[in-house]
């Protein structure tokens, strides 16, 4: 097949079949700068890798090449693909040398031989090309030239969560010091109605744009008295015509509210006046429409001719009164909003004056502390290269060829850095004046897939770069062949999405380029289909999503089970063939529940499932109770939760018997014996929890308590068991990251509260995360770069009110100007309390950019499908659905509707799909569900006793939660033990085992995990030392000398691991995972159990898996093998069940001796 892009690709990487040496290939170009515009499915990353191989073939030293990608995950995949491509190139060049010699073409043979030498040298070189994110690149440069940048070489990079913690600490300290030192600020804030603690979100946002100039004007404080006076007159005019004496809608409620307020204290302060003006202003949207319920016309009169109805219609803007517009919208836009805008601009200037010095001080604070956030890496690198020309030349010489993947996602700051690194004029400091050196820059991107505006990616920057490329003599190349989607899908996307791009102004929108399918794949039936959801009363989005979720789950279940459909077949369909895309995250949990109910394994990304998880509350309740033993609400929540599991009846009897459940707790003797034991267990758990939290790391304490009380087992047989047990693992992972940031358990407790409140957005995790055959449930932003045989565009009804912009960056003038509002309240319902001058126009401009991006999101969503695209369609609101812009194109091709009845397969449980792990057991003691019994007692006392008996029956556990470690300990508990506790670290108890304790073991695990995750790049010794020190930071009782000894021991053990043959196998593995948690239902005799554990390292080579468990114990090999063989073999069986692939070897990596202990 001859592709339309063949010539373009030859320019980039030479002839595909190596029929011509690059030195003789006239189509290939080495010394040109390229921006490649590549459509969806065109192989952007493949082209970039081919260019890298071509550079190596031309003799460019591998260490001079740097490839920048968007995420670390993508970078890891790119590293593996690049070295595989080098291997393929070596084979092809070797064949080409032989072929040229056989043909007697010595010139070609010599040329191929030279290319082969370059490739083979790159393969064996200790140097590696830099392939990572731009933040990692900056971190590397800052460490290498730390003195020139004015930094300590051992600085740490904090992630977003850690930076939030650091920022809050600094802000609270700044408030205390500034408000104490400059008391006038305290008075000003009180006078202006500003709570300094409410400004932390604005401080954080403004700090992220510290290098931007904010839109500012000197605004004097306005007097709002005259405006409020006019509002009172307007309200009096309305009140005189109201046919009722009590509020019936929002406008009358506000009128009565103002009257009451004036009667009590009056609106003598500007803050009080602004508050009432703001309440009226919020009744009118930006487009001039009223909020629902502002004027309840039917409450004003029941006939159209009544005076009340006439007034109500006039207030709504439906008619004029005596030729005058008396509508609420007209009054707000002409009188209220201008005055309120002036007030907000004045507040904004005052807030900026207070916050800007804090931002400068915060930047110095981070630099002094050696704790840099990701943006610091960019700004410090950029400032250093602008100010130090010698440093800039050294960096340009370090990397002579820079390649950038997914360039449309690059923000302006990153673009600045890229052009300074490649500029032919090393003294030019303004990036827009930089022109790249010939051949030094190669970028791949697609402006049609620019969907990360919230991360500051900007279409205008992409276009600016394109201009600079062409002005410097470079070229814009186009790739239009689509290797992903079938011809039917490409044709339909061109017809459905292409015209949507044309509707937007070119200033805000990318230019659409048609997709040209390069596949021979044909769909098994229709390629474009729809799922229809009938009208729902009230258009409740959650109800609509629930109906859609059941249909989607039924469709997938039927397809995998091989059931026929009238419009499409799914040959040999697997769960992993399906990708469900949602536009927003807030209803993804509904689809997750539907998949669970149908027994469908899934992974989720882009949602906020963790804050909604029922697994979070018990952990918080427990920590709250330990933190404040005298809090009766926290203690009651703990006792009623799964950690204690006490019923309301038991608690009632406990209180009636004068029991005390706060403080230390007292248990009365008069209650039943089983209840005495239950309360005793609950109070003992609190004592254990306090000791663990005070003496050990928070993550270790929570793990022990979860295991002790069987919390994982409690979730394992619920309907959403996978999501809840996965959520526990995800929460523990978060807690570990907070530990690394230096948080103690009280601060971890606060962070969990913020997570529950939605202030921290974290994706959920299921038990299937990391396994192969799962449905993927993603939001569209998380799906870019993915593809799937079958894609379902789900959740068809959008959020009712799109949130208004919070910021805009004006790039039309010289220098970027920031427009950032100050808001009060939480997330979606936050209101603007201060705004910069020109905000109205800036917000309108931002909305146009956001609307254009919504169209690009449609393009990204539709182009994920390979064989079939299934669009969910809500029939109740076809003009405003999430996917409604696609409906016209569906109708034009008469897209068939898939019949998917609700409730089908709803009786399938998760155990149905896991029959290889749990088989049917006729002797099972699991009780049947309670069903209404017509013979049940009529008397209510007897009925209560009968219900309690039934509850007691079904409360009996039908499973036992066990851990692999617990099983191992049980098998060896008869052996003599030596306490393995050293220097205060909590240790394990094993026969003849003496070591540095669990603390050192955990640190060693972290260090090995980090090494494996970064296995394909060269790590500086200083960085590894910093990693080791950070891992050992939490150990108590270590003096400096002892700590240095432990750090040295850890680094020596890491070096031995890297020198092993096992490490070499890891380097060439095609799949590598570290620290994989799992929980699996199993059968042990007649008991159902949930087996949980964590696999340290698992990798696949040539289709077979290897399981590795790290052990730091100081004993002998035979004792290790005897103690841990069952544990690791359990890991192997669990992995084979999860991955559905063979494990060929498993064993222990013994760090103390630096050797591999295989287990049969």
In this prediction, residue 445 has a pLDDT band, given cuts at 50, 70 and 90, of very high
Tell whether 595 and 628 lie within a shared domain.
no
Helix residue ranges per DSSP H, 241-373: 250-264, 270-281, 297-300, 307-316, 328-331, 337-369
Q: What are the residues whose beta carbons fall under 8 Å from the beta carbon of 720, sequence distance 6 or more?
A: 592, 593, 596
pLDDT greater at residue 147 or residue 568: 147
pLDDT at residue 478 above 60? yes
pLDDT at residue 917 above 60? no
Tell whether 783 and 736 lie within a shared domain.
no
Tell whether 989 and 1129 lie within a shared domain.
yes
Mean pLDDT of the chain: 81
User: Is 307 a domain residue?
Assistant: yes
Tell whether 629 and 736 lie within a shared domain.
yes
Q: What are the residues whose beta carbons fall under 8 Å from the beta carbon of 419, sequence distance 6 or more?
A: 431, 434, 436, 465, 468
pLDDT at residue 994 above 50? no
Tell whether 1134 and 1033 lie within a shared domain.
yes
Average pLDDT on 318-342 reads 90
pLDDT given at position 1037: 60
Tell whether 478 and 600 lie within a shared domain.
no
Give the per-residue SS3 of 1034-1084. CCCCCCHHHHHHHHHHHHHHHHHHHCCHHHHHHHHCCEEEEEEEEEEEEEE
SS3 content of the chain, % helix, strand, coil (to 5): 50, 15, 35
Q: Taking the alpha carbons of 853, 855, 859, 864 in that order, is the dihedral positive or negative?
A: positive
pLDDT given at position 98: 94
Per mean pLDDT, which range of 246-260, 452-466, 1133-1147 is the poorest? 1133-1147
Average pLDDT on 89-94 reads 94
Alpha-carbon distance values, 89 to 54, 96, 613 (Å): 9, 10, 49
Tell whether 302 and 378 lie within a shared domain.
no
Ranges 228-237, 518-527, 738-747, 892-901, most confident: 228-237
Contacts of residues 989-994 at CB distance under 8 Å and 24 or more positions apart, as own/partner, are 990/1113, 990/1115, 990/1119, 990/1123, 991/1119, 991/1123, 992/1115, 992/1116, 992/1119, 993/1113, 993/1114, 993/1115, 993/1119, 994/1113, 994/1114, 994/1115
Euclidean distance between CA atoms 33 and 473, whole angstroms: 8
User: Is 176 a domain residue?
Assistant: no
Tell whether 379 and 365 lie within a shared domain.
no
Collapsing DSSP to helix, strand or coil, 114 comes out as helix
| Dihedral, CA of residue 184, residue 186, residue 192 and residue 193, to nearest 10 | -170
pLDDT greater at residue 304 or residue 383: 383
User: Is 153 a domain residue?
Assistant: no
pLDDT at residue 966 above 80? no
pLDDT at residue 20 above 70? yes
Q: Which two tokens stand for residue 251?
A: 């406008």
Please count the structural domains in the chain.
Answer: 5
Half-sphere exposure of 499 toward its Cβ, with a 13 Å CA cutoff? 9
Alpha-carbon distance values, 419 to 149, 840, 1125 (Å): 19, 34, 55
Q: Which residues pair with 552 in a beta bridge?
A: none
Euclidean distance between CA atoms 399 and 62, whole angstroms: 10
Alpha-carbon distance values, 826 to 247, 274, 758, 820, 1090 (Å): 28, 20, 9, 17, 39
Q: Which of 427, 459, 482 is the last residue of a domain?
A: 482
Q: Which two tokens stand for residue 838?
A: 């020109």
Label the pairing between strands 822-824 and 831-834. antiparallel
Q: Which two tokens stand for residue 1013?
A: 């995750």
pLDDT given at position 823: 87
pLDDT greater at residue 487 or residue 802: 487
Tell whether 360 and 239 lie within a shared domain.
yes
What's the CATH number where 745 sits?
1.10.486.10
pLDDT given at position 1: 42
Euclidean distance between CA atoms 251 and 745, whole angstroms: 48
pLDDT in tens, 672-701: 888 888 888 888 888 888 888 888 888 888
User: Is 493 a domain residue?
Assistant: no
Average pLDDT on 404-431 reads 90
pLDDT greater at residue 658 or residue 404: 404
pLDDT given at position 1031: 74
What's the domain range around 967?
963-1159
- Prediction pTM value: 0.71
Q: Which of 892, 915, 946 is the last residue of a domain?
A: 892
Beta strands in 464-540 (DSSP E): 475-479, 481-482, 516-517, 528-533
Average pLDDT on 936-953 reads 47
User: Is 207 a domain residue?
Assistant: yes
pLDDT at residue 981 above 50? no
Q: Which of 369, 403, 427 is the last residue of a domain?
A: 369
Euclidean distance between CA atoms 352 and 207, whole angstroms: 11
pLDDT given at position 21: 94
pLDDT in tens, 265-284: 666 788 888 988 999 998 99
pLDDT greater at residue 380 or residue 987: 380
What's the CATH number where 444 sits?
3.40.50.300
First-to-last alpha carbon distance for the chain, in angstroms, is 50
pLDDT at residue 96 above 90? yes
pLDDT at residue 216 above 50? yes
pLDDT given at position 491: 94
pLDDT at residue 192 above 90? no
Tell whether 581 and 652 lie within a shared domain.
no
pLDDT given at position 358: 93
pLDDT at residue 849 above 90? yes
pLDDT given at position 524: 63
User: Is 507 a domain residue?
Assistant: no
Q: Which two tokens stand for residue 484?
A: 């992903």
pLDDT in tens, 630-664: 778 888 888 888 888 888 888 888 888 888 876 66
Average pLDDT on 426-437 reads 89
Tell whether 364 and 378 lie within a shared domain.
no
What's the CATH number where 1114 sits?
3.90.320.10
Average pLDDT on 320-343 reads 91
pLDDT at residue 985 above 70? no
pLDDT in tens, 164-190: 888 888 998 898 888 888 878 888 888
Name the DSSP letter for residue 627. H
| Burial (0-12, 13-18, 19+ Cβ within 10 Å), 75 | buried
Closest listed residue to residue 138, CA positions, set 113, 155, 115: 155
Tell whether 207 and 345 lie within a shared domain.
yes
pLDDT at residue 920 above 60? no
User: Is 1024 a domain residue?
Assistant: yes
pLDDT greater at residue 242 or residue 973: 242
pLDDT at residue 92 above 90? yes
Q: Which two tokens stand for residue 325?
A: 């517009």
CB–CB of 389/381 below 8 Å?
A: no
- 213-214, strands of its sheet edge to edge: 213-214, 817-820, 807-810
Euclidean distance between CA atoms 1017 and 412, whole angstroms: 27
| Residues recorded for the chain | 1160
User: Is 950 a domain residue?
Assistant: no
pLDDT given at position 77: 85
pLDDT greater at residue 725 or residue 877: 877
CB–CB of 155/146 below 8 Å?
A: yes
pLDDT given at position 802: 60
pLDDT at residue 715 above 70? no
Host H or E run for residue 498: helix 498-503
């Amino acid at each position: 097949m001859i592709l339309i892009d063949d010539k373009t690709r030859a320019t980039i990487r030479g002839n595909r079949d190596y029929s011509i040496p690059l030195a003789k290939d006239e189509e290939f170009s080495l010394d040109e700068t390229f921006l490649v515009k590549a459509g969806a499915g065109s192989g952007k990353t493949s082209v970039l890798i081919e260019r890298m191989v071509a550079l190596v073939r031309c003799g460019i030293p591998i260490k001079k090449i740097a490839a920048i990608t968007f995420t670390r995950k993508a970078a890891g995949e790119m590293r593996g693909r690049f070295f595989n491509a080098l291997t393929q190139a070596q084979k092809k060049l070797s064949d080409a040398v032989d072929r040229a010699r056989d043909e007697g073409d010595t010139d070609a043979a010599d040329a191929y031989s030279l290319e082969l030498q370059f490739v083979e040298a790159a393969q064996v070189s200790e140097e590696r090309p830099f392939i990572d994110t731009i933040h990692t690149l900056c971190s590397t440069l800052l460490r290498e030239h730390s003195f020139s940048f004015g930094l300590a070489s051992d600085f740490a990079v904090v992630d977003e969560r850690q930076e939030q913690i650091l920022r809050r600490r600094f802000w609270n300290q700044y408030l205390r010091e500034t408000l104490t030192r400059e008391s006038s600020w305290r008075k000003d804030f009180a006078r202006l109605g500003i709570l300094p603690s409410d400004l932390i979100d604005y401080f954080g946002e403004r700090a992220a744009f510290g290098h931007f100039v904010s839109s500012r004007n000197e605004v004097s404080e306005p007097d709002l008295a005259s405006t409020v006076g006019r509002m009172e007159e307007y309200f009096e005019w309305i009140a005189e015509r109201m046919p009722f004496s009590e509020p019936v809608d929002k406008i009358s409620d506000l009128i009565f509210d103002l009257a009451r307020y004036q009667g009590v204290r009056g609106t003598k302060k500007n803050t009080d006046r602004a508050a009432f003006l703001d309440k009226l202003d919020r009744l009118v949207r930006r487009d001039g429409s009223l909020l629902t319920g502002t004027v309840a016309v039917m409450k004003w009169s029941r006939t159209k001719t009544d005076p009340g109805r006439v007034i109500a219609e006039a207030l709504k803007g439906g008619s004029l009164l005596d030729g005058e517009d008396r509508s609420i919208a007209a009054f707000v836009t002409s009188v209220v909003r201008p005055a309120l805008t002036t007030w907000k601009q004045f507040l904004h200037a005052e807030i900026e004056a207070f916050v800007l010095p804090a931002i400068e001080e915060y930047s110095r604070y981070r630099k002094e502390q050696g704790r840099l956030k990701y943006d610091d890496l960019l700004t410090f690198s950029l400032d250093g290269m602008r100010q130090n020309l010698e440093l800039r030349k050294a960096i340009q010489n370090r990397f002579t060829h820079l390649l950038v993947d997914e360039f449309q996602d690059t923000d302006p700051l990153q673009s600045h850095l890229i052009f300074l690194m490649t500029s032919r004029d090393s003294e030019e400091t303004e990036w827009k004046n930089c022109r790249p050196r010939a051949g030094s820059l190669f970028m791949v991107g697609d402006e049609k897939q620019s969907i990360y505006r919230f991360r500051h990616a900007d279409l205008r920057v992409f276009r600016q770069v394109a201009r600079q490329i062409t002005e410097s003599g470079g070229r814009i190349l186009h790739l239009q062949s689509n290797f992903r989607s079938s011809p039917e899908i490409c044709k339909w996307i061109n017809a459905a999405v292409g015209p949507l791009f044309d509707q937007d102004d070119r200033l805000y929108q990318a230019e659409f380029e048609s997709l040209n399918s390069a596949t021979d794949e044909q769909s098994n039936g229709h390629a474009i289909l729809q799922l229809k959801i009938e009208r729902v009363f009230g258009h409740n989005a959650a109800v609509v999503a629930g109906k859609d979720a059941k249909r989607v789950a039924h469709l997938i279940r039927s397809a995998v089970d091989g059931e026929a459909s009238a419009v499409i077949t799914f040959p040999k369909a697997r769960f992993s063939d399906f990708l469900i895309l949602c536009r927003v995250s807030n209803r993804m949990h509904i689809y997750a529940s539907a998949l669970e109910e149908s027994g469908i394994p899934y992974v989720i990304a882009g949602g906020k499932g963790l804050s909604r998880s029922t697994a979070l509350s018990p952990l918080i309740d427990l920590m709250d109770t330990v933190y404040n033993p005298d809090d009766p609400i926290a203690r009651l929540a703990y006792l009623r939760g799964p950690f204690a599991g006490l019923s309301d009846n038991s608690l009632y009897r406990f209180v009636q018997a004068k029991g005390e459940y706060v403080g230390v707790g007292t248990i009365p003797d008069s209650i039943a014996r089983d209840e005495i034991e239950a309360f005793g267990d609950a109070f003992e758990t609190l004592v254990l929890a306090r000791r663990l939290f005070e003496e050990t790391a928070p993550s270790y304490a929570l793990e022990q308590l979860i295991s002790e009380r069987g919390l994982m087992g409690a979730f394992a047989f619920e309907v959403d068991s996978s999501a809840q047990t996965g959520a526990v693992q995800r929460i523990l992972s978060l807690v570990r990251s907070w530990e690394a940031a230096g948080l103690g358990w009280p601060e971890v407790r606060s962070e969990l509260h913020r997570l529950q409140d939605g202030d921290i957005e974290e994706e959920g995790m299921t038990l299937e995360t990391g396994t192969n055959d799962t449905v993927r449930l993603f939001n569209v932003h998380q799906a870019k770069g993915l593809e799937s045989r079958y894609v379902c565009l789900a959740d068809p009804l959008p959020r009712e009110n799109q949130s208004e912009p919070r910021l805009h960056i004006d790039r039309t003038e010289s220098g970027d100007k920031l427009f950032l509002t100050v808001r009060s309240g939480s997330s979606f319902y936050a209101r603007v309390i201060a705004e910069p001058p020109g905000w109205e126009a800036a917000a309108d401009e931002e909305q146009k950019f956001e609307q254009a991006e919504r169209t690009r999101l449609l393009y990204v969503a539709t182009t994920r499908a390979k064989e079939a695209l299934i669009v969910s369609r809500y029939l109740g609101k076809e003009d405003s659905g999430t996917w409604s812009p696609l409906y016209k194109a569906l109708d034009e091709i008469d897209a068939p509707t898939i019949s998917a009845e609700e409730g089908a397969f709803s009786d399938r449980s998760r155990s149905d799909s896991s029959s290889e792990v749990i088989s049917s057991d006729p002797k099972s003691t699991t009780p049947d569900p309670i069903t209404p019994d017509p013979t049940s007692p009529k008397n209510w006392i007897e009925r209560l006793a009968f219900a309690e008996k039934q509850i007691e029956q079904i409360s009996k556990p039908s499973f036992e939660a066990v851990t692999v470690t617990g099983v191992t300990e049980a098998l060896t508990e008869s052996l003599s033990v030596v306490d393995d506790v050293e220097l205060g670290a909590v240790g394990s108890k094993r026969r003849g085992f003496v070591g540095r304790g669990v603390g050192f073991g955990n640190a060693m695990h972290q260090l090995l995990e980090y090494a494996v995750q970064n296995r394909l790049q060269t790590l500086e010794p200083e960085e590894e030392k910093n990693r080791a020190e950070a891992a050992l930071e939490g150990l108590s009782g270590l003096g400096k000398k002892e700590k240095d000894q432990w750090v040295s021991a850890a680094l020596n053990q890491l070096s031995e691991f890297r020198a092993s043959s096992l490490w070499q196998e890891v380097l060439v593995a095609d799949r590598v995972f570290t620290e994989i948690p799992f929980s699996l239902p199993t059968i042990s005799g007649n008991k159902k159990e949930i087996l949980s554990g964590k696999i340290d390292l698992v990798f696949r080579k040539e289709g077979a898996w290897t399981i590795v468990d790290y052990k730091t114990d100081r004993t002998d090999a035979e004792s290790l093998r005897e103690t841990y063989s069952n544990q690791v073999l359990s890991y192997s069986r669990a992995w084979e069940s999860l991955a559905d692939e063979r494990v060929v070897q498993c064993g222990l990596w013994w760090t103390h001796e630096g050797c591999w202990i295989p287990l049969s």
